[in-house]
Structure 1
Amino acid sequence: MIEQDGYLVTLKEMSPTSGGVSAKTYLAEVQWPNGDIIESFVKLFPVNTRIKEIINESFGFLLANSASLRQSTRAALIKLDVTEFPIDTNTDSFAAANGFVYGWVTASLGGKDLKKMYLKNPPNISSNEAQQILSVLGSWPNFKSLVAFDDWVGNIDRNIGNLIFIKKDDIGVIDHGQIFGVVDWQCEKIDPTYNSTNWMLNAFKAQYKGTILHPTVYQPILDIAAKNSSSYAQAKADIQNCIIQINKTIGSNLDSKIDEFFNYFEIRFATVATRLPHALAA
């Protein structure tokens, strides 16, 4: 947890094209609990999606760690003072009662996102730009790992704007705001057997230009899923404890829902061998 005084100074408010469509995102100097002052990205969420976004970001960060994906080494809840941010206390009862709201902060990875690197006129993308991006993804050693991860967590919002190019063969992932295969599980039912849109899987298919994929082509994704399942089993108790603590801290009262979330992840693993071929054939 980072207290209000840990947010030192705003360096830049990010535009919707460079991060934070559902949230206001700030690049800021933040003092972390160990005293380190680090450029970090801070997300301020709308009141109606705040709980959903924080829970999703928390799950995404913890699960990506268990899957050994490259991401920020630091993430935390942060208290954002109502006097320093555009927070309407007339419509936000938590903010009015407490003088702050909870946000989400991650230390910057550095580098540039692939959207900034390759698109001249986002969100428009030319065929040449698309081929360049497919080439970069295809040569990235962890591309199949990201395909497997996004299938596992039901990430429906992966895009090149949340893939950070650090150096050759080194791409980091950020943003896990829409997982469980839905935009908002507060008002939508989650179904672990449903093949929601996996944009990285679509990019994987696009490399083969519409040809029917032999099982040997996608077997590495299934192998990675099996490895992730094993790593998750070892980390599950710690992940549960973290989520339970976050739920308690932000007052989200999701005790019964948390079991549904963990059940989702386990069924995704159990069904991937049948779901993936169907998704690739679609």
Structure 2
Amino acid sequence: MINFATIAGELLPFRHGNVNQTFKALVATSDGRVPVAAIIKDLPVKELFNELISFLILKDLGLPVPDTYLGLVPAGNRQISKGPLLPDGARLVLASKDVGSPNLKFVTNLSDLSSEAEAKACLSRFVPELAKWGKFGEMYAFDTWVANVDRNLGNVLFGGTKPDGSVDVWVIDHGQALTSEMWQPNDLIPEGSYMNKLQIWAVPFLTDDNKSTCLGSLQLFEIKAHALDKRSKVEYLSKMFGLDDASKNAVTNFLELRLAEVSGQCRTALMVETMI
């Protein structure tokens, strides 16, 4: 399900508002393509698992996620220290195709030092543009379903509106899906209510029509999500990373049972419980 890639050149440190140790590099992929420019992230096992299970789900749902690989960094590289260690001393990292679009944090030029007035002024311009994207509501639903608690401005790539009227959007950085990067089986409560950061920085700038459009996509999302073979994806990655049966079963049950909560929790996230 996941293609592998070998780091084909130098790892160049990369800072773009990212939290984790991140690099840019060329990678040679196992599917035989020419070397791909990629973003490399050095992640511990569960955060890497979160990223990959999210990629597999997003890809099958038809949401725009950059091609993602399990990268192999040869033994002896001192820049990588968190990724799973293989018997020969090599390490595994997350490698995702560099699609060339900036994240919203860069586009809006907002930072932790920005004033509340500056944030409101920027987001009032950019969120309506983002809401033109036809899958905006499905992004809400996905984050609610997998308990992705960190959809911040840096985790949406936004290349603007194209000449044909479509919006260039990519969803990235899902290491804090499944409630966090350090989840334990008893953290995964299907009926639990988890943070949806879109409610903080996007909802205040959505019109009622925007919200209605988002809600209209819920039924299609749920149909697609129910049809996914969730169990095989979890078993595949659990075997790859050596997760125990308790963890594997907890993730599978969480994904299967939580779908019943998506509609109600999305309405709450959109602040439209009473909207018809």
1:109–1:166 CA contact under 8 A, matched in 2: no
Task: Give the percent of matched residue pairs that are identical in Structure 1 and Structure 2.
Answer: 21
Deviation at 1:159, TM superposition (A): 1.2
Q: 1:107 aligns with which of 70, 77, 97?
A: 97
Deviation at 1:40, TM superposition (A): 0.6
> Which residue pairs with 1:25 in the alignment?
22
SS of residue paired to 2:9: strand
- The structural deviation recorded for 1:32 is 0.8
Residue 59 of structure 1: aligned partner: 53
Aligned mates of 1:245, 1:271 — CA distance in 2: 25
Instruction: Provide the residue aligned with 2:168 in structure 1.
Output: 170
Distance 2:253 2:215 in 1: 19
Question: C-alpha separation between the residues in 2 aligned to 1:11 and 1:101?
Answer: 14
Instruction: State the match for 1:201 in structure 2.
Output: 199
Write the mapping of 1:152-163 to structure 2, written as runs, cut at 5 A: 152-163=145-156
Shift of 1:226: 2.8
1:272 is matched with which residue?
262
1:257 equivalent to 2:247? Answer yes
1:166–1:208: structure 2 CA closer, same or farther, 3 Å change rule?
closer
3-state SS, counterpart of residue 140 of structure 1 = coil
Asked if the contact 2:68/2:94 (under 8 Å) is kept, the reply is yes
Secondary structure at 2:187 match in 1: coil
Aligned with 1:150 (options 125, 140, 143) = 143
CA shift for structure 1 position 124:
3.1
2:132 paired with 1:139: yes
* Aligned-residue offset at 1:174: 0.9
1:247 is matched with: 238
Give the deviation of 1:57 after TM superposition. Answer: 0.6
Per-residue deviation, residues 129-187 of structure 1 (Å, max 9, x unmatched)? 23223233233332222111111111111111121123411211111100123352138
Q: 1:10 to 1:167 in 2, by over 3 A?
A: farther
CA 1:94–1:201: 2 relative to 1, 3 Å: closer
Consecutive unaligned residues of structure 2, counting only runs of 5 or more, are: 162-166
CA RMSD in angstroms comes to: 2.8
Paired with 1:94 and 1:269, the residues of 2 have a C-alpha distance of 31
TM (normalized to structure 2)? 0.81
How many residue pairs are counted as aligned between the two chains? 260
Contact 1:66-1:235 at 8 Å conserved across structures: yes
Q: Does structure 1 residue 10 correspond to structure 2 residue 10?
A: yes
